[in-house]
Structure 1
Amino acid sequence: MVWGAIATWRMAHEGVVEALRLLEKNGTSGDVTENLIKTVEDYPYYKSVGYGGLPNSEGILEMDAAYMDGDTFKIGAVAGITDVKNPISVARKLSEDKFNSFRVGDGATKYSIIEGFERKNMLTKRAHKIWEKRLEEIRENNLNPYDGHDTVGAVTLDQEGSMTVGTSSSGLFMKKPGRVGDSPLSGSGFYVDSEIGGAAATGLGEDLMKGCLSYEIVRLMGEGETPQAACDKAVYSFHDKLSKRYGKAGAFSLIAMNNKGEWGVATNVEFTFSVGNSKEPPQIFIANKGKNHTTDIQPISQEWLSAYEKRIKAPIE
């Protein structure tokens, strides 16, 4: 039997390592995906997801998350949820509801309270200090307020052939209250079909929503494309189309895995991801846009990893 897991950004690597351990022991893709994303949500130094995530323009941390079952197409999602420890768990619970399975704002938060999910002040002192510093920089230098939009997205395949996808994000730093990106939106931020494969996105939600790239990648895999070919074809053709017709294309990166455990990635920025399967141990790679609608993918260096660890934990002055 085959199994595998792929997730966006270096921040997901510990979750991927644990995911593969659980999958080898016949863990279910649903449990593994939720656990992988919770690992990222719980870590305070990842400033674009969960605890330690960066707030909106009013200093409030609003979070988005989604969960999709590739066997049944059940989807649950939350947007603008506040003060709940693990938005991905709320999204998974909502996927069991035939109606009202996508909740936003106060409705999402109240649902989490009623269902007994752990409450937590998710805005750390560190994140609040970053927010205050950014406000000062904006006032003094007339800077664009928007910075940072890294979503954790994960696709997993278990030994029974079931596939699941999940996403979680605190969204665009300094976003306006109520702003929602692509992360909780089916087809844009994520999509999965256990008979084909799954995909997830990270980047500027306002531009990702213009292309529904996660669904497009799964559709292309369903037509026989490898995950890598599907990612390259979907991402770079849309990057070119959006640049031509809209005038520019924001940052976006997509990951994919098919029901054979094969994987692919495409990006228009420097992008890290973690992946492994029943044949390949978990590893962190760095990807960049290559020539002729291809992606250049290389293992990260120890030098890169050391610099990353130092950077994310650096004191906020």
Structure 2
Amino acid sequence: MSERRKFIKKSLLGSALLVPGVSTAFAGIQKNQLIAEKPLILSTWNHGLPANAAAIAKLKETGSILDAVETGVKDTELDLSNLSVGLQGLPDREGITTLDASIMTGDGSCGSVAFVRQVKHPISLARAVMEKTPHVMLAGEGARQFAIAEGFPIEKEELSPKAKEAYEKWKITSKYKPVINIENHDTIGMIGMDKDGNLAGSCTTSGLAYKMHGRVGDSPIIGAGLYVDNEVGAATATGLGESIIRVCGSFLIVELMRQGRSPQEACEEAVKRLISKNKNIKDIQAGFLAMNKEGQIGAYAVHPGFNFAQGTLGSNVMVDSKSHF
């Protein structure tokens, strides 16, 4: 983006914040909003509200945006009413709950775990991979053994009551068909910016219900479910993981922002690319959430129904995303 474009954009956005009666924190929320107040936390779906609250509280305590995005999604990993994140999530077709998670900071540091069992907080295990190993991703039994070595409690392998009831009903027919905006609420993705503009993100899930044993979605794949770059911005994804992996959705959005697209424009382009690369799009929901270094945000989905939580030190609200269809 030329210096002239940057100057014009900032001038226009700054003027909008001076209009009487327009909130400086939430003006033009669907119009590439400039957030006057930092820090800023964005997270996917309704469970983002309590997650944002936990993230902001942690940020006030430690001042670390990395601590904040880890703590925020840990809240969701413990939510027994949530059947798409954490050990209480719906199992695969073998009746086993397996978890995926990733975490990343703006300097390129990242870690993830995939197909991991019996670990209550896979996001914290992903952070341990980032900080304590030379690797980016550990999977399956290797991830579980690393958790044991690092002193993570290993939980008893059993389905939560709600997940067990749902699984028993599913076994009657044992058929799998994605239901958009129901089964595909399969992730919490969170991206955050501290008062100094430093970025971090996290993503955690129990994956699609009744998936094939061993299936891994986009959430633990850096560049698909999550990508963060302090020079540009951050993005996260939710929905049918296979569709997101095919377009490296989160990396694509950050690179489009690097080329001068706003977060909203970048999210819309990512959805268009996703639609072009996936068949039976009527059965596929996917949504993207992004912020850039200037404090603008973007959100866009394939179908209506995607929403996200937007939090600052003084407010925490749900916002409905626009969609292609």
Give TM-score, length-normalised by structure 1.
Answer: 0.83
Structure 1 residue 92 corresponds to structure 2 residue 127: yes
- 2:195 maps to what in 1? 159
Residue aligning to 2:116: 81
CA 1:277 to 1:260, structure 2 compared with 1: closer, same or farther past 3 Å? farther
Distance 1:15 1:145, change over 3 A: same
Amino acid at match of 2:243: D
Give distance in 1, aligned partners of 2:143 and 2:229: 26
Match of residue 101, structure 1, among 115, 119, 136:
136
How far apart, CA to CA, are the structure 1 residues paired with 2:92 and 2:161?
A: 15
Q: Does 1:177 align with 2:213?
A: yes
Q: CA deviation at 1:286?
A: 1.9
Structure 2 residue 137 is the aligned partner of structure 1 residue 113 = no
How many positions carry a matched residue from both structures? 282
Aligned equivalents of 2:204 and 2:312: distance in 1? 22
**Letter of the aligned partner of 1:64 in structure 2?**
D
Q: Any conservation in 1 of the 2:299–2:322 contact (CA below 8 Å)? A: no
Q: Are 2:49 and 1:17 equivalent residues in the alignment?
A: no
Output one character per residue of 1:115-154: Cα deviation in whole Å (capped at 9) or x when no partner: 0012223631221111111112x25xxx435552321100
Provide the C-alpha distance between the structure 2 equivalents of 1:233 and 1:189, rounded to a whole number of angstroms. Answer: 16
Q: For residues 101 and 290 of structure 1, do their structure 2 counterparts lie closer, same or farther at Cα, with a shift above 3 Å needed?
A: closer
Residue equivalent to 2:29: none
Letter in 2 for 1:82: R
Post-superposition CA distance 1:23-42 (Å, at most 9, x none): 45662110000000100000
> Hey, what does 1:258 align to over in structure 2?
292
Q: Deviations over 1:133-177 (max 9, x none)?
A: 1112x25xxx43555232110001112322111110101100111
Matches of 1:121 and 1:30 in 2, distance apart? 29
Give per-residue Cα distances to partners, 1:56-81, cap 9 Å, x unaligned: 1111100000111112x111111111
Question: What amino acid is the match of 1:170?
Answer: S
Q: 1:225 aligns with which of 248, 253, 261?
A: 261
1:60 to 89, 92, 96: 96
Equivalent position to 1:35, from 64, 68, 71: 71
CA contact (8 A) 2:246 2:274 kept: no
Q: Is the 1:191–1:215 contact (alpha carbons within 8 Å) kept by the matching residues of 2? A: yes
- Cross-structure match for 1:144: 176
Shift of 1:247: 5.5
**Runs of 5+ consecutive residues of structure 2 not aligned to the other structure:** 1-36
Q: Distance in 1 between matches of 2:308 and 2:156?
A: 28
Moved more, 25-34 or 282-291: 282-291
Q: Does 1:212 align with 2:236?
A: no
Per the alignment, in what secondary structure is the counterpart of residue 166 of structure 1? strand
Letter of the structure 2 residue corresponding to residue 285 of structure 1: V
Q: CA deviation at 1:230?
A: 1.5
- For 1:266, give the aligned amino acid: Y
Two-structure CA RMSD over aligned residues (Å): 2.0
Do 1:62 and 1:80's aligned partners in 2 also have CA atoms closer than 8 Å? yes
- SS where residue 30 of structure 1 aligns? helix
Work out the CA distance in 2 between the residues paired with 1:263 and 1:125. 38
> How far apart are 1:21 and its partner, in Å?
4.0
Task: Measure, in 1, the Cα distance between the counterparts of 2:62 and 2:257.
Answer: 25
Identity value in percent: 34
How far residue 195 of structure 1 moved from its aligned partner, in angstroms, is: 1.7
Provide the C-alpha distance between the structure 1 equivalents of 2:315 and 2:46, rounded to a whole number of angstroms.
15
Q: Structure 2 CA distance, aligned partners of 1:125 and 1:240?
A: 36
Partner of 1:312: none
Unaligned segments of structure 1, at least 5 residues: 292-317
Are the counterparts in 1 of residues 226 and 236 from structure 2 also a CA contact under 8 Å?
yes
